[in-house]
Chain A
Amino acid sequence: MLYYIVRRLLMLPPVMFIVASIVFGLLYVTPGDPAAMIAGDQATPEEVERIRISMGLDQPFYIRFGVWIWQVMNGDLGTSIFANQPVVHMIGQRIGPTFSLLTLSLVVSVAIAIPVGVVAAWRRGRAIDRVITSLTVLAFSLPVFVVGYLLAFSFSTTLGWLPAQGYVPLADGFAPYISHLLLPSLTLGLSYAAILARTTRASMLDTLTQDYVRTAVAKGAGPRVILYKHALRNASVPIVTIVSIGIATLMGGSVITESVFSIPGIGRLTLDAILHRDYPVIQGVVLLFSASYVLINLITDLAYTVLDPRIRY
């Protein structure tokens, strides 16, 4: 087991290297010149060229790549072209809101989707199942920004229950922290919850027909014990898989959600960096996302062994 974890962690650097190379190469071939952006519209070609040289953008591709990789290996993601701040520092400032948003979306989605999926499976073919199934299709079909503006319009603008903008750190109190995060989390988590509810339903339908569920009924177990203790545990491996795959979708969705609700997180940082061709920031963020994703995958694989004693590495 420990050997397995070590082996998986050793795979992290090569994966990151490949991701880094792809991102670096992709940015190299995309049009747009950061030097021109910094210099502004009125700048002469000579000024732009001077800025480009000062930023090292005149160097050949492999030298720039080599320098960057060397820096990354030393824990330095470079300096933002636009903000003129270390990228590590900028990410550090922005990670709190994004982490909070992702965590709350995850918790809210799982807390809604699993009971909903279980009920739909238990009452399959009945009215409640049809309602749930239709709602999941709807929730899944709505784009994040539409859901975001709808929720902000109803619960903030119209009802005035929750704030529609901004972020308050946890240090400033739990109530304002949660109230600012609730609408963004619902927005981000909705389609995720829909997929999760569908997966839960499908996986539960499968386990509910298994012989051991019949055994549980024959023992005299009630619906709660049958559904949650026997069926859901056995249905959990596919559900956990979808939870973990979905985190990648959530990361992507956070870019839009943070823009809609003006949350100063990694998503906003990414968006701004792309608009400004701020290469070091984009590269840093992508590396962060891919590293988190590799780690989440590892945690998922380890979770399987906890859920199912037959799975051993």
Chain B
Amino acid sequence: MNPVLEVHDLDVSFDTSVGSLRVVRGVSFSVGAAETVAIVGESGSGKSVTALSLMRLHDPDKTKISGSIKFKGTELLTLPEARMRTVRGNEIGMIFQEPMSSLNPLMPIGDQIAEAVLLHHDKSRAEARRRALDLLVQIGIADPQRRMREYPHQLSGGMRQRVMIAMAMACDPEILIADEPTTALDVTVQAQILGLMRDLKTRTGSSIVIITHDLGVVAELADRVVIMYAGVKVEEGTIAEIFSQPAHPYTVGLLGSIPSLGCSRSGGPLTEIPGQVPSPSRVAVGCSFAARCGLTSSICLEIEPRLENVSPRHGVACHHKIRTPVA
């Protein structure tokens, strides 16, 4: 099966006043049809930057992107801007972290959803509005006729994120990119949004790339997981492999920092990963996780580990792979 999205050796750097910052370094992953891939990492790991690159949403004047992003075989990085516009919102939909500020405050939400339809389809305003209404029903908004005419400030955060999802799904995209879609929401609302996304996925069969730091979200939604650290992919595998046999010390650390109810995974108290993600301006030689890792040896400080497979779909970039399941 051909992947819908293939990212190869993606490199993103930003021009800043202090020089060029390389925030994503050689990241590769692919997303199959109807597959959900989670990109997981702490703040500053480059996961959101990666997501925005997929749609080329960075300021082209200040960003250098190299590598390859292929969507159904078409290279997106070299696509002319006018052609890229027919991909955005139409073949790839995107929802963002901040539902509060991501909707235009001066436009009724019905118009905002209808606009997504009108931008890509030769439809009348009335048809587009019917489609918008239909989408509002699908995402479970009560009294959709009235909500159509309401402005974002009249809706709750959860409802706004539903509207964002409706907007992203308006043209039945092949891929939905969700950049931390639940981070800004209350826990109960988070569960509803995740449920809605799972629901839509089974109904429309679209692929999802979800960016998150929340392994709970990953467990709810993902088929495969890409773990990022300091701009690098450090581990990749199916959800079962990552949760039961994490091989990178960082992944182990992430898993150890989630509280669990009932059958506790480690049986012990919550652990944390000491320190923080290094700033991209000070990336040293060797493994970027070395400063925070418990297994660091001299090789870690000298040579950057390459990604090696421990099983057909499970890859790890570490000199000291953990082979025993944490059980």
Residues from chain A with a CB closer than 8 A to the CB of B153 are 309-310
Task: Jot down 30 A-B pairs with beta carbons below 8 A, ordered by A.
Answer: A212-B102, A212-B105, A214-B57, A215-B104, A216-B104, A217-B57, A217-B88, A218-B55, A218-B57, A219-B88, A219-B115, A219-B167, A220-B86, A220-B87, A220-B119, A220-B120, A221-B85, A221-B89, A221-B115, A225-B119, A230-B104, A233-B104, A233-B106, A234-B106, A308-B105, A308-B106, A309-B105, A309-B151, A309-B153, A310-B151
Q: List the B side residues contacting A219 at CB < 8 Å.
A: 88-89, 115-116, 119, 167
Contact residues in A for B167 (Cβ distance below 8 Å): 215, 219
**Residues of the A chain whose Cβ atoms lie less than 8 Å from the Cβ of B120:** 220
Ranked nearest first, the 5 interchain pairs of A and B with the lowest CB-CB distance are A220-B89, A219-B89, A220-B88, A211-B101, A218-B94
Residues of B participating in the A interface, judged by any CB pair closer than 8 Å: 55, 57, 61, 82, 85-90, 93-94, 96, 98, 101-107, 115-116, 119-120, 151, 153, 164, 167-168
Chain B residues closer than 8 Å to A154, beta-carbon distance: none
Query: In the complex the two chains form, what is the Cα distance from A210 to B107 in whole Å?
Result: 15
Inter-chain CA distance A211–B97, complex, in Å, is 10
Looking at the assembled complex, report how far the CB atom of B265 sits from the nearest CB atom of chain A, in whole angstroms: 36
Q: Is the pair A215, B88 in contact by a Cβ cutoff of 8 Å?
A: no
Interface size on A, residues (CB 8 A): 21
Whether A222 is near chain B, meaning CB under 8 Å from some CB there, is: yes
CB-based contact A211/B102 at 8 Å: yes
By the criterion CB–CB under 8 Å, are A309 and B57 in contact? no
Q: Which of B101, B116, B164 contacts A210 (CB 8 A)?
A: B101
Contacting residues, chain B, for A310 (C-beta < 8 A): 105, 151, 153
Cβ of A307 within 8 Å of any chain B Cβ, yes or no, is: yes
In angstroms, how far is the closest chain B Cβ from the Cβ of A276? 51
Flag if A222 contacts B57 (CB, 8 Å): no
Chain A minimum-CB-distance residue to B164: A215
Identify the A interface with B (CB < 8 A): 125, 210-212, 214-222, 225, 230, 233-234, 307-310
Q: How far is the CA of A307 from the CA of B107 in the complex (A)?
A: 10
Contact between A234 and B119, CB atoms less than 8 A apart: no
15 additional A-B residue pairs with CB within 8 Å, beyond A215-B164, A221-B89: A212-B102, A215-B96, A215-B102, A215-B167, A216-B104, A218-B89, A218-B93, A220-B119, A221-B115, A221-B119, A225-B119, A230-B107, A234-B105, A309-B106, A309-B153
A306 to chain B, nearest CB (A): 10
Residues of B within 8 A of A217 (CB): 55, 57, 88
B residues near A309, Cβ cutoff 8 Å? 105-106, 151, 153
Taken together as a complex, chains A and B put the C-alpha atoms of A222 and B84 apart, in Å, by: 10
Contact A218 B105 (CB under 8 A): no
Residues of B within 8 A of A230 (CB): 104, 107
The closest CB in chain B to the CB of A309 belongs to B151
Contact partner of A214 (CB less than 8 A), chosen from B85, B102, B107, is: B102
B90-A220 in contact (CB<8A): yes
Q: Looking across the interface, which residue of chain A has its beta carbon closest to that of B117?
A: A219
- Chain A's closest residue to B113 (CB) is A219
CB distance from B60 to the nearest CB of A (A): 11
Tell whether A212 pairs with B103 under 8 Å between CB atoms, given A218-B88, A219-B88: yes
Task: List residues of chain B with CB within 8 A of the CB of A307.
Answer: 106
Distance from B275 Cβ to chain A, minimum over Cβ atoms (Å)? 30
Please measure, in the bound complex, the distance between the C-alpha atom of A210 and the C-alpha atom of B96, giving whole angstroms. Answer: 12
For A125, give the chain B residue with the smallest CB separation.
B61
A212 touches B115 (CB 8 A): no
User: Smallest Cβ distance from B37 to chain A, in angstroms?
Assistant: 19
A214 and B87: CB pair below 8 A?
no
CA distance A125 to B61 in the complex (A): 10
* In the bound complex, CA of A216 to CA of B55 (Å): 12
- When chains A and B are docked, how far (Å) is the Cα of A211 from the Cα of B116? 16
Residues on B with C-beta less than 8 A from A211 are 96, 98, 101-102
Taking the closest CB of chain B, its distance from the CB of A233, in whole angstroms, is 5
> Which residue of A210, A215, A220 is within 8 Å of B85 (Cβ)?
A220
Q: How far is the CB of A216 from chain B (nearest CB, A)?
A: 7
A312 to chain B minimum Cβ distance, whole angstroms, is 11
A211 to B105, CA, bound (A): 11
